């Protein structure tokens, strides 16, 4: 096992933060230039604070000490477990797998982390629709990415970033042939979204439907 520290304000938020700060500066400057009434100024102050706090909260990436363990599947995202079922994976693995799905609401940390260490054996981006993340067809019809990592022991774990109704941008940092470490970032999804895991049938699932889980900390399953 190995531990390392993971902390930053996420880089995907830099542009959004700059735009919000610029907007706040402009509306406050206009209010002061035209000497708006006290009530109007207070409304502007409250709106400005709300926008700034919302952006900082959404793009936060808290301190995390990641423990690398080849015998477990770490949670790839913050959120709630909404699906645990046996299903057919038809895109790459083409066999029966245990699917574990994690729904991320807009208030969750939206950093996506590698559930296992290994080599990326497959990657594909799929443009698509923006159905709500819990819709049964969201995993096949929505904008999404498919990533497969082959572990040192030869096990292939497939996971997908799936855009939700509010999400309009999926970001990924991996490519085929790349070596990845468990717990490191592999992507980011803006606003509500979902991450699916497809695990071997003999994997011991460590969570239940409805459980709140934390990316890089919660153990989803054990090999």
Active site residues: 193
Tokens of 88: 């057919």
Q: Is 34 left (phi over 0), alpha (psi -120 to 50) or beta?
A: alpha
For residue 215, which of 203, 202, 197, 200 has the smallest C-alpha distance? Answer: 197
For residue 103, which of 200, 11, 209 has the smallest C-alpha distance? Answer: 209
For residue 55, which of 22, 17, 82 has the smallest C-alpha distance? Answer: 17
In this structure, are residues 201 and 171 in contact, taking their beta carbons and an 8 Å threshold?
Answer: no
Tokens of 16: 């959004």
Please tell me the distance from the alpha carbon of residue 47 to that of residue 214, in angstroms, as a whole number. Answer: 30
In this structure, are residues 78 and 60 in contact, taking their beta carbons and an 8 Å threshold?
Answer: no
Q: Is 46 left (phi over 0), alpha (psi -120 to 50) or beta?
A: alpha
């Amino acid at each position: 096992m190995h531990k390392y520290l993971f902390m930053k304000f996420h880089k995907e938020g830099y542009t959004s933060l700059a735009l919000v700060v610029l907007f706040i500066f402009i509306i406050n400057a206009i209010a002061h230039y035209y000497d708006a009434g006290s009530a109007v100024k207070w409304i502007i102050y409250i709106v400005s604070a709300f926008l700034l706090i919302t952006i900082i909260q959404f793009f936060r990436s808290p301190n995390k000490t990641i423990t690398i363990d080849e015998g477990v599947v770490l949670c790839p995202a913050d959120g709630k477990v909404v699906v645990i079922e046996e299903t057919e994976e038809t895109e790459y693995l083409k066999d029966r797998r245990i699917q574990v799905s994690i729904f991320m609401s807009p208030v969750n940390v939206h950093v996506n982390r590698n559930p296992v260490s290994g080599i990326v054996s497959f990657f594909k981006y799929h443009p698509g629709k923006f159905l709500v993340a819990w819709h049964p067809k969201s995993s096949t019809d929505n904008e999404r990415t498919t990533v497969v990592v082959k572990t040192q022991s030869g096990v292939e774990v497939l996971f997908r970033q799936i855009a939700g109704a509010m999400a309009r941008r999926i970001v990924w940092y991996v490519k085929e042939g790349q070596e990845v470490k468990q717990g490191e970032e592999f992507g980011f999804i803006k606003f509500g979204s979902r991450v699916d895991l497809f695990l071997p049938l003999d994997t011991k699932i460590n969570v239940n439907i409805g459980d709140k889980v934390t990316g890089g900390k919660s153990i989803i399953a054990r090999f």
